[in-house]
Amino acid sequence: MPKNYVSNKDETIRLFENDFLEALSRVHWTVPLWLFIPIISFLLFRGFYIYNMSISNTLLLILAGIFVWTFTEYFLHRFVFHYMPKSAFGKRIHFLIHGIHHDYPKDSKRLVMPPSVSLPLAALFFILFDSIMNNEYVLPFFAGFLIGYLFYDITHYAIHHFNMHNRFWLAIKNHHSKHHYQNPGLGYGVSQPTWDYVFRTTFPEKESMSEPLE
């Protein structure tokens, strides 16, 4: 992705002439929590009280869902968000999906996924998992998948806007900072860098950030 412009202010540009579409493209960082925590709670409630699943099986399936999310996060960021089409229309779609974030990385209203995108995607993933898993198993598994998504979304906002002092969070922040300011072709893990190490897309140890996120 060529770096044409990078703003370090909490500013943005208008994406759509239509006011309704423009409003859908902006979202407060707490909206995913308000939307998905009730859904996660409902999934776990059905697993416990409708299918009488044990705590141990529920926890294992939640952890499996979180694990699958980490790979999904990496895959989407690397192969979907950073896919660069050749056509003008394709480039416009790419900018709408992810290019704007690299130009305006501190835009506080475009750091978490808007419900107009996250809810349909969640529905598609649920249909996919439900088609390959027993109904009672998919409930805690998908709850874990959504927990992983929430962790990713809120972590992404925190990386760009929260002051971090803990060594663990600073490492996460530095990893994503290098992706923005050093090499957008590396460091696709946002909430964690695990799959970057597996697929060798992490940064050489001797490289340092050219610019901070703050």
Per-residue model confidence as pLDDT tens digits over 108-146? 888 899 999 999 999 999 999 999 987 889 999 999 999
Residue 62 is assigned to a structural domain of this protein: yes
Confidence (pTM): 0.89
Mean local confidence (pLDDT), 26-49: 93
Closest C-alpha among 140, 155, 163, 168 to residue 213: 163
Residue 88 is assigned to a structural domain of this protein: yes
Mean local confidence (pLDDT), 150-168: 91
Residue 135 is assigned to a structural domain of this protein: yes
Give the structural domain span for 113: 20-198
Name the pLDDT band for 68 (thresholds 50, 70, 90): very high
Residue 211 is assigned to a structural domain of this protein: no
Q: What is the token pair recorded at 193?
A: 């860098």
Under 8 Å between Cβ of 201 and 188: yes
Residue 213 has pLDDT above 80, yes or no: no
Amino acid of residue 178: K
pLDDT value, residue 206:
65
Residue 9 is assigned to a structural domain of this protein: no
Residue 56 is assigned to a structural domain of this protein: yes
Angle, alpha carbons 152-157-163 (nearest 5°): 120
User: Helices (DSSP H) in 25-114: which residue ranges?
Assistant: 31-49, 55-75, 88-94, 100-103
Residue 163 is assigned to a structural domain of this protein: yes
Residue with tokens 């998908």: 142
Q: Share the mean pLDDT of the chain.
A: 88
Residue 1 is assigned to a structural domain of this protein: no
- Cα distances from 100 to residues 69, 95, 120, 140, 181, in angstroms, run 24, 5, 21, 34, 14
pLDDT value, residue 150:
97
- Distance, in Å, from the CA atom of 190 to the CA atom of 107, rounded to the nearest integer, reads 17
Angle, alpha carbons 82-147-163 (nearest 5°): 70
The rounded percent of the chain whose pLDDT value lies above 70 is: 93
Going by C-beta distance under 8 Å and a sequence separation of 6 or more, which residues neighbour residue 128? Answer: none
Mean local confidence (pLDDT), 83-105: 84
> How many domains does the chain divide into?
1
Residue-wise pLDDT tens digits, 167-209: 988 999 999 989 988 899 999 999 999 999 999 999 987 644 4
pLDDT value, residue 2:
43
